[in-house]
Amino acid sequence: MSKEKVKKEEIKTTATATINKDIAKAFTLTKAKEKRRYALNNVYFDAETKELVVSNGTSLIIITIKPTGLGFEIYTLETGLYDIVGDRLFKKEKAEEMIFPKYQDIVPETKEVCSGKALKGIIDCMIKKQVYIDIWKFGAVLKILDKISCNWIFSNMSPTSPVLMETENVSYKIKYIMMPYNP
């Protein structure tokens, strides 16, 4: 039996939660790809606030789970780091030494600049506030977020502050934050 097959079987036995396929895909695209940024290669779950968080250093997704949202199994998770494979979260073993950054510190204040679909809203925000966002860098995630919701609210205070997109439904609240391009 090859190592690859053994790993897949081990993962199946340690599955801890299943999430929405579009959210899982957005998480996969947003997490860091560099091995040296080990904490950012994972999804962080805060059991107290019921937040699933993923970041790559230039963008951040925060999903706050409501009691009716994303399946009951999310509420049984412990605080910590999780691997994401497909639409499943798996507890990261020996994650005690990996510390996820204090993501709350960069969440901008909510103040509506514009609203609408993800791609159009970001372009409107860029024009109104003269924010420089690298659309190519965030385009794949924005397309997925457009599938999740068409009612986004955008916030941005200045050309150098992050752009916050947020939406809410009966199951969860999503915040997606993009850092502006500073030449």
Q: Which domain does 133 fall in, by range?
A: 108-178
Q: What is the pTM of this model?
A: 0.83
Residue 56 lies in a domain: yes
Same domain for 130 and 173, yes or no, is: yes
- Per residue in 93-150, pLDDT (tens digit) is 765 566 788 888 888 887 888 888 988 888 888 888 888 888 888 889 999 999 988 8
pLDDT tens for each residue of 48-57: 888 999 998 8
* Greatest CA separation for the chain: 58
Portion of the chain with pLDDT greater than 70, in percent: 83
Of 93, 126, 154, the residue at which a domain comes to its end is: 93
